Chain A
Amino acid sequence: MSAAMTNTEQKTIMDRLEPYLAFIGPMVMILAILIFMGIAEPARYFRLTNLNLILLDAALYMPMAMAMTFVITQRGIDLSIGSIAALSAILMAFLIKQYGFPAWVAVPLAIVLGALMGLINGLVITRFKVPDLIGTLAMDLVYRGLALVIAKGLVLARFPELITEIGRGQIPGFIPVPVVLGLITMAIGYVVLTRTYFGRYTIAIGSNPEASEMTGVAVDRHKIYAYVLMGAAAAMAGVMLTGKLNAIQATSAPYFNLHVIAAVVVGGTSLFGGRASMLGSLAGVLLLSMMINALVTLRIEFFWQSVASGVVIVSSVALYTWMQKKDRDGAHGLLAGLRSKEAQRLIRFSAALIGALILLLALGAGLATEPSPSG
């Protein structure tokens, strides 16, 4: 009885760093951006007004990143948040403009409507057993469609002061109001994740759904809670967006989904469930906003933003997966895998594909005639 079980192995540097990895990762990337911009365009990037701009952009995504951290930690995904934001903002706008609702009622109403849409998502996934990817993608179409049905092509503009204050208000000598709101939601998210039943069960469900069920955790109910939170957060972002632009239309917020998922995943929350990092999500949101702002500052065409976001998602997921694999199997050279028979086949296949592309390009160039303007 006396002999205690102790592990004799020493803590490696990796072990010590592991818990903080989620935060260090984006921080290193943020640092890289700062250094790069410090060299490339210091005068315009490091202005106070630009810093304000970055924070203002990041604030919009903070509530959603907070909620998405819960959804992804439970091995879920929500692809409908852009449409939820648009639809709840449109509904709010109509209530104010058409029916004369006071803003202080319409704003919480929009958030409750968003929560309700999240509830529908949750029920579709848990009750109808539609996989989350398909379920929320389909509901994305539904919510976006409803927003278009209600608003047609209208742009609703000029909202009461409360809403513009939420979206772009400035606390004099301090940071913008939406940044304060965003940081508060992230802080609440952190407490909920670490100190409440919901947070604890979120990690348990993502880590081992069967075991959670066996130990009496209401798995479906807590999944629904996560989607409801997600819906409410998306609606909050919709209100903030409306205030920021002082206008809203049915096609607003098209890129919310991937931007938020990217921020959360870059922040070290694992798509495979169980690993959550609220601090990492905050760092991820800041990273993406800084990156996009850097692209704008460098006068790179707007459409490259989408390319950059995609590259950041793929590389960070690949990086985290690689690091976790290394933990278990011991290090192998990066190129060791290329020597296997299977890899050789894949290389030959890729070469053939690229060869076909080159051949067709050459053929097209060889047979090309003088281009004539179309239409």
Chain B
Amino acid sequence: MSDQPLVQMLGITKRFGGVTALQDVDLTAYAGEVLAIVGDNGAGKSTLIKILTGVYQPTEGRVLMDGQPLEMASHSDAIANGIDAVYQTLALADHLTPAANMFLGNELTKNVLGIPFLDNKRMKTEAARVLEERLGVRLRSMDVMTESLSGGQRQAVAISRAVYHEDLRLLVMDEPTAALGPQETARTLKLIKALREQGLAVILISHSLDDVFEVADRVHVQRRGRAVGVVKTAESSVQDVLGLIVGAQDAAA
């Protein structure tokens, strides 16, 4: 974990018509660190990461990368700057092979008589390599439909799509363990740790504080559109974070 923040969001405010979804939120992410964003429904978690990944533009505030301001008009701008996201739905086409999914929208081709044809063989070996080297996952077969894979394996395929870009620096994961059983959850958390060890900044949105304390270094707590605290998991407990989420400490103060 380095001292210089990789990405900073400063004074972010987002209004939808008369509704203020985010009010003056600061967020910092470091390379080689897992930052969890927690909060109740409607606390502004999703809006915050949609701004970070270029889907929404902030009403006020700035996003900095390496201290330089970042202007993102769309999600593809974010990808070009090394920021990508894995959505809760994973955005996989179930009837394609894992390799086809990994390269969806970004296929490798070879030219035959000047016509670009898909290079299925190379995509397959590349996909197997990325899964193995970056995520430590080896699939029984690369030729099956993605729908036949387990929840954790599907997660790995979705993540591999993001990490295939060598210049990926920040990965946002939206509720990766929400639909998974205990065993698959453990595997997914292991994937996240593996990404952290490779020096990626990971932002994890989760409702499960157990998962958060298992894998995250710091926890950013949102409540009613405001950042109400950032704590280090090593120095706090689930109870403390829970208190921040529901605002118990405000009431006590």
* A-to-B contact residues, CB < 8 Å: 1-7, 15, 191, 194-197, 199-200, 203-204, 206-208, 210-212, 214-217, 273-275
Q: How many residues of B contact A (CB 8 A)?
A: 35
Q: Main SS of chain B's interface residues?
A: loop
B20 beta carbon closer than 8 Å to chain A: no
B148 surroundings in chain A (CB, below 8 A): 15
Compute how far the CA of A206 lies from the CA of B145 in the bound complex, rounded to whole angstroms: 14
Compute how far the CA of A6 lies from the CA of B105 in the bound complex, rounded to whole angstroms: 27
Looking at A194, A215, A273, the one whose CB has the most chain B CB atoms below 10 A away is: A215
Compute how far the CA of A104 lies from the CA of B118 in the bound complex, rounded to whole angstroms: 33
Cβ A4 vs Cβ B95 within 8 A: no
CB distance from A220 to the nearest CB of B (A): 15
Cβ B91 vs Cβ A214 within 8 A: yes
A217 surroundings in chain B (CB, below 8 A): 104-105
Compute how far the CA of A206 lies from the CA of B140 in the bound complex, rounded to whole angstroms: 25
Of residues 78 to 96 in B, which have CB atoms within 8 Å of A's CB atoms? 87, 89-96
Cβ B93 vs Cβ A214 within 8 A: no
Compute how far the CA of A325 lies from the CA of B34 in the bound complex, rounded to whole angstroms: 40
Output the nearest chain B residue to A5 by Cβ-Cβ distance: B137
Cβ A274 vs Cβ B187 within 8 A: no
Cβ A196 vs Cβ B93 within 8 A: no
Cβ B118 vs Cβ A211 within 8 A: no
Given contacts A195-B117, A217-B105, contact A5 B156 (CB under 8 A): yes
CB distance from A69 to the nearest CB of B (A): 14
Output the nearest chain A residue to B75 by Cβ-Cβ distance: A214
Compute how far the CA of A217 lies from the CA of B107 in the bound complex, rounded to whole angstroms: 11
Output the nearest chain B residue to A214 by Cβ-Cβ distance: B91
Output the nearest chain B residue to A199 by Cβ-Cβ distance: B118
A273 surroundings in chain B (CB, below 8 A): 95
Cβ B95 vs Cβ A274 within 8 A: yes
Cβ B95 vs Cβ A275 within 8 A: yes
Cβ A216 vs Cβ B76 within 8 A: yes
Compute how far the CA of A232 lies from the CA of B86 in the bound complex, rounded to whole angstroms: 39
Cβ A207 vs Cβ B139 within 8 A: no
Output the nearest chain A residue to B139 by Cβ-Cβ distance: A5
Compute how far the CA of A318 lies from the CA of B113 in the bound complex, rounded to whole angstroms: 43
Compute how far the CA of A87 lies from the CA of B132 in the bound complex, rounded to whole angstroms: 55
CB distance from A355 to the nearest CB of B (A): 45
Q: List 16 A-B contacts (CB under 8 A).
A: A2-B136, A5-B150, A7-B140, A7-B150, A15-B148, A194-B118, A200-B96, A203-B93, A203-B95, A203-B96, A208-B92, A210-B89, A211-B92, A215-B161, A274-B93, A275-B95
